């Protein structure tokens, strides 16, 4: 080694620093001197705690047959050459207690989910969710955002009201729907209620002065409250309300009643309160859905299904027996859109007759009441009516004693209004209880109607066995009738013959509505309905409804908006925009949908 190198290296190392020159050769050759020293130190410490390689030197008995106290935790039991969980079955008080508790819990669950429903059903008690949607009541299939704990029959309906005698034959009918409106603050905006929805639109068809707004409909004090206010809404000076069960709850036949306090005073004209029904294939306020549907109730293929009730200018009476302001034309209707004349393959909700023709479908109307103030001196009345198409000559229906029955002629008279170019009316006007108004003593009167659109026949019994086609009976014809009730008493009745065939206009009989009917209640104003005395009307005007109830013959229960014999849901879904867009006023011009071909008018 170069001495110069050694001397230079030595000069770089401090005098006090240890060097490798005094170490052994082995130590001097390793470049990891510090690590080597640490390793020696560590081994000296760990050697104090390490175990020898021979386990027998550890001081434990390692004989495999030596039993230790914890052997049961990790040594399986061998029996008969096989590993088993335990060779003996043993019980402890704790185990017995655990099994007992589990048994009681299981029995409690079974009693809750099996025993209680069986007992509850046998007792025919009502729950708040009983039968909701089980019968297809909500035809749209909607599940409302908030159920509101409501079933078909309101649990607040008293037991005494669960049955009622039919008005005509005094038979016991069963309650199938009720709403007592006892829960305050209910909302009827879309999706908020299982059976009711308040519309948000202008009812332009009758030239109403108000905008119908959901904010005008609520519940308070155990009543449904519909308010007409002098409040600018959507450019109109007034705000009213219309609530409807369209496509949510419908009924076919039976008796419906409502306990109502009429709005305003009994001697001031102008308010238009109403509770009424319509066939589910038309939605009130949605003009496109109604064109060619309202107020038809017709199942024949003849000139009655044609536009203006004429084909080739015939029959002539359809052009000469109308009102003077319409040039004596009888009808301005566009023709029945879904008639029995509809060609095969065209869009139609069905069903079909056995001869291959479609059943005539429509959106008929029956009014429980429309309130009015008339006379000298002024007093309150209700108009209770049915609306029909096609029309009789001069709108004159058969009001003979065979078809028209007025219970008390001292308070009820046939309405002088018989119809016009858009409807024919069978109507009677009845005096109301003058105290049952908002600004009088404020009592409630019961209004309703009973409709039987199936004949009294044994085929009703047979139908449960044979499921007959619609040709095995004639819905709305033989034995059918409508009876109206005012102040909880029969006001008047009409038999189906009142709107029978008319040879002059060459039309067949109209039928007492066999369509599933939904319920509406509204409060508005229109000069179309009569004089509006804004000088003396007081706002807000409020109509209160204490309850609405529907009863049916227990042998002929028919509720739901999409019954098999008169389906509606598939058709509504196919044309849902017409039923959801109130701005579409006509089927053809606004919605741009054609009428199905009519075999008499268009050929097939």
DSSP secondary structure string for all residues of 461-496: HHHHHH---GGGS-TTSTT-EEEEEETTEEEEEEEG
Residue tagged 């095995």 (tokens): 472
Q: Quick one: CA torsion of 555, 556, 562, 564, rounded to 10 degrees?
A: 80
Rg (CA), the chain: 42
* Cβ contacts of 388 within 8 Å, gap of 6 or more: 295, 297, 364, 397, 423, 424, 425, 426, 499, 510
pLDDT at 304: 98
Report the alpha-carbon distance of residue 391 to residue 332 in Å, rounded.
Answer: 11
Report the alpha-carbon distance of residue 430 to residue 438 in Å, rounded.
Answer: 19
pLDDT at 474: 52
pLDDT at 416: 96
SS3 call for 172: strand
pLDDT at 198: 99
In which residue ranges of the chain is pLDDT below 70?
1-51, 56, 58-59, 71-91, 120-150, 454-475
pLDDT at 587: 98
Report the predicted TM-score, pTM, of the whole model to 2 decimal places: 0.76
pLDDT at 491: 98
* Cβ contacts of 589 within 8 Å, gap of 6 or more: none
Ranges of beta strands (E only) in 23-171 are 77-79, 82-84, 163-165
pLDDT 10s digits, 125-156: 443 333 444 444 444 444 444 444 568 999 99
pLDDT at 50: 65
CB 152 within 8 A of CB 132: yes
SS3 call for 180: coil
Q: Is the omega angle on the peptide bond into residue 540 within 30 degrees of 0, that is, cis?
A: yes
Q: Name all domains of the chain by residue range, CATH numbers in brackets.
A: 159-580 (2.60.120.200)
């Amino acid at each position: 080694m170069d001495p110069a190198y050694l001397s230079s290296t030595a000069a770089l190392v401090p005098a006090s620093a240890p060097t490798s020159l005094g170490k052994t050769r082995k130590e001097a050759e390793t470049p990891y001197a510090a690590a080597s020293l640490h390793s020696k130190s560590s081994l000296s410490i760990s050697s104090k705690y390490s175990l020898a390689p021979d386990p027998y030197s550890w001081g434990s008995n390692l004989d495999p047959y030596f039993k230790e106290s914890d052997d049961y935790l990790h040594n399986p039991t061998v029996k008969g050459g096989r590993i088993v969980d335990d060779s003996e079955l043993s019980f402890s008080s704790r185990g017995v207690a655990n099994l007992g508790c589990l048994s009681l819990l299981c029995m409690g669950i079974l009693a809750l989910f099996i025993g209680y429903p069986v007992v509850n059903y046998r007792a025919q008690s009502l729950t708040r969710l009983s039968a909701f949607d089980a019968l297809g009541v909500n035809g749209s299939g909607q599940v409302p955002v908030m159920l509101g704990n409501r079933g078909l029959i309101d649990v607040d309906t008293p037991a005494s009201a669960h049955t009622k005698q039919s008005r005509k034959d005094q038979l016991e009918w069963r309650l199938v729907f009720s709403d007592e409106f006892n829960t305050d603050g209910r909302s009827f905006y879309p999706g908020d209620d299982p059976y009711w929805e308040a519309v948000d639109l202008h009812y332009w068809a009758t030239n109403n002065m108000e905008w119908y707004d959901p904010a005008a409909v609520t519940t308070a004090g155990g009543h449904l409250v519909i308010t007409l206010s002098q409040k600018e809404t959507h450019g109109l000076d007034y705000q009213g309300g219309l609530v409807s069960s369209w496509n949510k709850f419908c009924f076919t036949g039976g008796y419906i009643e409502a306990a109502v306090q009429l709005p305003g005073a009994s001697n001031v004209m102008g308010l238009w309160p109403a509770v009424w029904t319509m066939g589910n294939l038309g939605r009130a306020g949605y003009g496109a859905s109604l064109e060619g549907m309202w107020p038809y109730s017709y199942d024949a293929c003849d000139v009655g299904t044609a536009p203006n009730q004429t084909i080739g200018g015939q029959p002539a009476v359809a052009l000469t027996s109308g009102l003077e302001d319409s040039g004596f034309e009888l009808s301005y209707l566009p023709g029945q859109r879904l008639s029995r004349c509809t060609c095969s393959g065209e869009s139609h909700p069905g069903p079909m007759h056995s001869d291959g023709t479609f059943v005539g479908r429509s959106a008929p109307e029956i009014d429980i009441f429309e309130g009015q103030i008339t006379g000298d001196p002024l007093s309150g009345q209700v108009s209770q009516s049915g609306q029909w198409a096609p029309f009789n000559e001069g709108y004159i229906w058969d009001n003979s004693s065979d078809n028209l029955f007025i219970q008390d002629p001292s308070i009820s008279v046939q309405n002088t209004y018989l119809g016009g170019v858009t409807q024919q009316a069978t109507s009677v006007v009845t005096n109301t209880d003058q105290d049952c108004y908002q600004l009088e003593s404020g009592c409630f009167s019961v209004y309703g109607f009973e409709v039987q659109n199936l004949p009294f026949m044994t085929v009703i019994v047979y139908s449960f066995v044979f499921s007959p086609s619609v040709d095995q009976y004639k819905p709305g014809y033989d034995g059918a009738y409508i009876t109206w009730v005012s102040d909880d008493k029969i006001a008047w009745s009409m038999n189906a013959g009142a709107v029978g065939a008319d040879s002059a206009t060459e039309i067949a009989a109209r039928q007492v509505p066999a369509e599933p009917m939904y319920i509406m209640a509204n409060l508005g104003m229109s000069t179309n309905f009569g004089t509006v005395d804004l000088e003396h009307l007081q706002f807000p005007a409020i109509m209160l409804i204490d309850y609405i109830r529907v009863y049916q013959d227990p042998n002929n229960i028919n509720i739901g908006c999409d019954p098999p014999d008169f389906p509606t849901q598939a058709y509504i879904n196919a044309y849902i925009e017409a039923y959801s867009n109130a701005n579409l006023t006509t089927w053809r011009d606004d919605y741009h949908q054609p009428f199905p071909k009519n075999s008499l008018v268009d050929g097939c």
